[in-house]
Amino acid sequence: MSEEKRKILICIDWFLPAYKAGGPIQSIANLVIHTKDDFEYYIATSNSDLGEPLDLPVTSLNTWINKGDYKIIYLDPVHQTFKYYKDVFLNKNFDVVYFNSLFSQKFTLLPLLVFKNDPIRKVLAPRGMLGKGALAIKPIKKKIFLKLFKALKFHKKVIWHVTADSEALEVEKHFGKRCTVLLAPNLSAKTQLKSFNKLKVVAEVNVFFLSRIAVKKNLLNALNYLADVNTSYKVNFSIIGPIDEAAYWENCRSKIDKLPQNISVKYLGAIPHHEISGKLSQQHVLLLPTQHENFGHVIMESWQNGCPVIISDQTPWRALLKDNLGFDIPLEDQHKFIKAIELFAAMDQIEFNTWSESSIKFAKNFTENPELIEQNKALFLNPNNKE
């Protein structure tokens, strides 16, 4: 008789069919796909996507639904309460509860209070929210949250799931060296294709931005770089992602209106994840001068689709140039961003193919590394609880 699977509760603000919230949804979806044979997953989430309600029948809300690979409960705002969480969580005898965010009142703080005195294993993923760039956005609100978090001693009651050594240092900086930290890089979907036949014309390049339109993702600076690209190069710039911060988008639109004629811009809006590969089939390079990423699923997806990247140095992906994967550039070095764009614009077909194939090869090796799956499974398998 096979051993009974451990029951894992995952608390996350948004989940499938939501897609506008981006990377965190993919992190959990990929985790479930890769380890569903080892664990029994229950997912507690809201009935919304980023900024809008999900189109779900009322009868499917506030009750557990079997999706095959996992069970899920979509909670409307009225049921996102301490009392209701006690009713739906405590009778399931979960072995582990996993929190997919740090700064979430409804899907981290409240369920943590529910399980505060329970010996259940508690795992928390900060998801890059302790990075300098992330903390600089709405800093007062986040300082208050961190003080409350420490006052309740939650930082000592959880196992911190970090996805890079840099994130482990961030946890140590804010919560001390005595925290329990486990390193497990995010899992990605498997790389499907071995090569792409992308037409690359000399002196022209298709550049894309793929992320939420928000200060942290830094679209405005991307537009500033494009504005200074040499006019001998033609850049077709596609912006893909939901508008998270409307006032910031208005600033971006104002900049777009002032771009020189050699820069053409299309806003494609938010795109469901399963359509991303189709949109990237004729794109050449990702431009994402993000203020901080603990992983960056869009970076991996770019490589999976044969697109090298031009990103900031505020991600775990470093020294990209030596492997023809792209450029990781300090945010203050605007000149290097511009030169990187111009380098890709100047490439001929043969040279671009070299970079594209390097990207696909790296992504394939990374996403099919069995060691990463074992590291993620270890988040839930250690029987010792942190109390």
pLDDT digit string, tens, across residues 165-216 = 888 999 999 888 889 999 998 888 777 665 667 999 999 999 999 999 999 9
pTM for the whole thing? 0.81
Q: What is the pLDDT of residue 312?
A: 97
Q: What are 134's two structure tokens?
A: 């992330």
Distance separating alpha carbons of residues 286 and 262, to the nearest angstrom: 18
Task: Work out the number of other CB atoms within 10 angstroms of the CB of residue 269.
Answer: 12
Residue 356's H or E segment, with its range, is helix 349-367
What does CATH list as the number for 204-367? 3.40.50.2000
Q: What's the Cα-to-Cα distance from 28 to each of 79, 173, 191, 293, 369, rounded to whole Å?
A: 22, 26, 17, 16, 18
Whole-number Å distance between alpha carbons of 356 and 303: 8
Query: In 3-state terms, what secondary structure has residue 150?
Result: helix
What is the 8-class DSSP label of residue 243?
A: B
In angstroms, the CA 51 to CA 102 distance is 19
Q: Which homologous superfamily is 6-187+369-381 in?
A: Glycogen Phosphorylase B; (3.40.50.2000)
Asked if residue 123 lies in contact with residue 111, where contact means CB atoms within 8 angstroms, the answer is no
* Per-residue model confidence (pLDDT) at position 193: 60
CB proximity list for 119: less than 8 A, separation 6 or greater: 385, 387
Spell out the alpha helix ranges (H) of 158-214: 165-175
Give the residue from 189, 211, 6 showing the smallest Cα distance to 98.
Answer: 6
**Residue 235: what pLDDT?**
98
- Alpha-carbon Rg for the chain in angstroms: 21
| CA gap 14, 20 in Å, rounded | 9
Strand partners, 202: none
Distance, in Å, from the CA atom of 39 to the CA atom of 97, rounded to the nearest integer, reads 12
Output the pLDDT for position 387: 42
Could you tell me if 134 and 212 are in contact, meaning their C-beta atoms sit under 8 angstroms apart? no
CA proximity to 11, closest of 142, 78, 102: 102
**CB–CB of 196/360 below 8 Å?**
yes
Q: Give phi and psi for 49, each to the nearest 5.
A: -105, -175
Q: What is the pLDDT of residue 385?
A: 44
List the chain residues with pLDDT less than 50: 1-2, 384-387
Residue 362 burial (10 A CB sphere; 0-12, 13-18, 19+): buried
Backbone angles phi, psi at 179, to 5 degrees: -65, 150
Q: Residue type at 119?
A: P
Cβ contact 285:344 at 8 Å = yes
Instruction: For residues 172 and 241, give the distance between their C-alpha atoms in angstroms, rounded to a whole number.
Output: 32
Q: What is the pLDDT of residue 3?
A: 67
Q: Tell the residue number behind the tokens 């603990």, with chain if given.
A: 294
Measured CA to CA, the distance from residue 324 to residue 356 in angstroms comes to: 8
Q: Where in the chain is the domain with CATH 3.40.50.2000?
A: 6-187+369-381, 204-367
According to the model, what pLDDT value does residue 1 have? 37
List the one residue out of 345, 355, 356 whose CA is nearest residue 201: 345
